[in-house]
Amino acid sequence: MSAVPDDLKYSKEHEWVRADGDVATIGITHFAQEQLGDVVFVELPEKGATVRQFSSLGVVESVKAASDIYAPISGEVLERNVKVIESPELVNSAPYGDGWMLKVRLADKGELTKLLNAADYRSHIGESAGIGGD
Amino acid sequence: MAETALRRTPLYDEHRRLGAKMVPFAGYEMPIQYSGIVAEHRAVRSRAGLFDLSHMGEFHFRGRGAQATVDRLVSSDVAGLDVGQARYGLLCNERGTIVDDVIVYRVAVDELMMVVNAANIAKDRAHVLELLGADTAFEDRSTGTALIAIQGPRAAQILGAESGAEVTRLHPFGVIGARLARTSAVVARTGYTGEDGFEVFVASEGAGAVWSALREAGREAGLLPIGLGARDTLRLEARYSLYGNEIDESTDPIEAGLAWTCKLDKAFIGRDEIAKRKAEGARRRIVGLVIDGGVARHGHEVVHESTPIGTVTSGTYGPTVDKNIALAYVPTEISKVGTRLAVRIRERDVPATVVKTPFYRRPE
């Protein structure tokens, strides 16, 4: 599996979105899970909750530390991935597959234009992975 | 922002070559993980792991007065150490609180080595120099000494193949001189993982040879290099204190659960105050917690019936026990095993239960 699949949209905070009609699936990227290390706990909003683009939607805990997950798009939560709550290591082993986090009803498809495509995300993590300034 | 240059251990290039993720720790650039914390943790519990601990400090005390001097400095029975024995103990101040936790090795009749925490080297040096008499020569060999630990059920077999069977006959906390990879070493059966294992002290120049030889000797046995991340999860499952978390200069040995390290019928710095606190009984104590539905971290509040009553000192996911575990200070009257508490994680009170420690004990 590619570390940055071409068919997804990305946030600078390392979440991905797969839009299918007005339903979007959300997860964190391969790069994000690699940076986090072993994921041991995932906290996600329940069905019916509302998430707002670029606001925190939940938390992923690795052995080392807790990190916020930011919503790459706004909308109502249709489903959260129960499997990833029970087996958080899926975030490491299949970040774009069984490690998905939420399915959301898109509130505004226009928001997708505020996200990066695969090529832009690749260059974004190229920069983040380097030893940059501040 | 001004940055202090980070120091590197003699094994720095090895870590880079092995793809380690390096982080600043106690002024050093240290490997936090290689293959991943959970995989490394499991390797130590089931096979063996190799650790670079060269950032730790090594103090040497020599001369006729060495043993008596260190006995006055350290809470445990250093005077009773025979040559070839080591003991865990505490450096305390006159207020009876903890300056550092150390291991003292009697390496010769008139020579003792004290291993101290990397972050405390300068502070500890000042502390011990205050008490030093003319009959004891002190030398801080922290910079010139490398420390490599090999830990896990296969550690003895791997080390023995490299250094000869004598080390495998060491008792726990035994220490001897040995040679491996054509390098002189001091080998002790000590560690910080809850497994059988050894710590190997060599001059910095020999560190690369010893590291490579042990990696090679352990290849078939499944030995992995282990970073500071797994070192922390291993020690926490085994309920070993970490200086700066469970213990510091605001904690005393009684509340920290380290009364067993204090030989109160001898003279040592802090003894009177510690004896007084022991007689009074600790107002708070460290307990083990299992958290149901979240990972507790250092600094989180512990809550009892919606009231904050204590603080988490260390918390993580424990890969071997497969639970979210933590150590925390709580008032003595609500510290009994089985007590239902909560840990406030991101403004939510997550249920936690006081459990017996250690969380993990290795099978006999």
Complex confidence, ipTM: 0.84
B63: left (phi over 0), alpha (psi -120 to 50) or beta: left
Whether residues B61 and B134 share a domain: the answer is yes
Chain B residues within 8 A of A37 when measuring between CB atoms = 33, 36-37, 229
Structure tokens at B149: 């630990």
Q: What is the mean pLDDT of residues B333-341?
A: 98
Separation of alpha carbons B317 and B42, rounded Å? 13
In a domain, B18, yes or no: yes
CB B72 within 8 A of CB B92: no
| Residue from the list B32, B38, B297 with its beta carbon closest to the beta carbon of A38 | B38
Q: Which amino acid is at B359?
A: F
Separation of alpha carbons B106 and B60, rounded Å? 10
Work out whether the CA dihedral B54, B104, B171, B241 comes out positive or negative: negative
In a domain, B198, yes or no: yes
Q: In terms of C-beta distances under 8 Å and separation of at least 24 residues, what long-range contacts does B139-142 make, across chains too?
A: B139/B59, B139/B60, B139/B62, B140/B57, B140/B58, B140/B59, B140/B60, B141/B58, B141/B59, B141/B60, B142/B56, B142/B57, B142/B58, B142/B59
| Residue boundaries of the structural domains of chain A | 12-124
Give per-residue pLDDT as tens, B111-169: 999 999 999 999 999 999 999 989 999 999 999 999 999 999 999 999 999 999 999 99
The pLDDT confidence band at residue A132, using thresholds 50, 70 and 90, is very low
Q: What percent of chain B has pLDDT over 90?
A: 98
Instruction: With a cut of 90, say whether residue B2 has pLDDT above it.
Output: no
In a domain, B272, yes or no: no
In a domain, B40, yes or no: yes
Chain B residues within 8 A of A59 when measuring between CB atoms = 346
The pLDDT confidence band at residue A126, using thresholds 50, 70 and 90, is confident
> Residue B133 has what pLDDT?
86
Give per-residue pLDDT as tens, B302-326: 999 999 999 999 999 999 999 999 9
Which pTM value belongs to this model? 0.94
Structure tokens at B54: 């060269």
Structure tokens at B7: 């120091």
Instruction: With a cut of 70, say whether residue A130 has pLDDT above it.
Output: no
Q: What percent of chain A has pLDDT over 90?
A: 90
Whether residues B288 and B173 share a domain: the answer is no
**Beta partners for A58?**
A69
- Of the candidates B98, B30, B110, B42, the residue with the CA atom closest to the CA atom of residue B70: B110
Whether residues B153 and B174 share a domain: the answer is yes
Instruction: With a cut of 80, say whether residue B1 has pLDDT above it.
Output: no
| The residue to which tokens 């240059």 are assigned | B5
Nearest Cα of chain B lies from the Cα of A40 at a distance, in angstroms, of 7
Chain A residues within 8 A of B317 when measuring between CB atoms = 38, 40-41, 61, 63
Separation of alpha carbons B254 and B335, rounded Å? 14
Task: Tell me the CATH number at B344.
Answer: 2.40.30.110
Give per-residue pLDDT as tens, B90-118: 999 999 999 999 999 999 999 999 999 99
Give per-residue pLDDT as tens, B187-227: 999 999 999 999 999 999 999 999 999 999 999 999 999 99
Cβ within 8 Å of residue B55, ≥6 positions away: B7, B9, B25, B26, B27, B28, B30, B118
How many independent structural domains does chain B possess? 3
CB B99 within 8 A of CB B178: no
H or E, element range at B27: none
- Of the candidates B277, B255, B251, the residue with the CA atom closest to the CA atom of residue B264: B277
Whether residues B43 and B75 share a domain: the answer is no
Instruction: With a cut of 90, say whether residue B4 has pLDDT above it.
Output: no
A108 touches chain B (CB under 8 A): no
A129 touches chain B (CB under 8 A): no
Which range (A1-10, B14-23, B278-287, B342-351) has the least confidence?
A1-10
B138 touches chain A (CB under 8 A): no
In a domain, B7, yes or no: no
H or E, element range at A100: none
The pLDDT confidence band at residue A127, using thresholds 50, 70 and 90, is low
List the single best residue of B37, B228, B233, B295 to mutate versus A (max A Cβ within 10 A). Answer: B295
In a domain, B245, yes or no: no
Single out the residue in B121, B140, B159 at which a domain terminates: B140
> Residue B3 has what pLDDT?
58
Chain A residues within 8 A of B316 when measuring between CB atoms = 63
B37 touches chain A (CB under 8 A): yes
Whether residues B18 and B155 share a domain: the answer is yes
Give per-residue pLDDT as tens, B241-274: 999 999 999 999 999 999 999 999 999 999 999 9
| The residue to which tokens 């290099």 are assigned | B225
Whether residues B125 and B148 share a domain: the answer is no
B299: left (phi over 0), alpha (psi -120 to 50) or beta: left
In a domain, B90, yes or no: yes
Q: What percent of chain B has pLDDT over 70?
A: 99
CB contact under 8 A, A37 and B36: yes
Range of the domain at B233: 12-56+144-237
CB contact under 8 A, B317 and A65: no
Separation of alpha carbons B145 and B56, rounded Å? 9
Single out the residue in B140, B165, B192 at which a domain terminates: B140
Architecture of domain A12-124: Beta Barrel (2.40)
Chain B residues within 8 A of A91 when measuring between CB atoms = none
Q: What is the mean pLDDT of residues A46-67?
A: 95
In a domain, B86, yes or no: yes
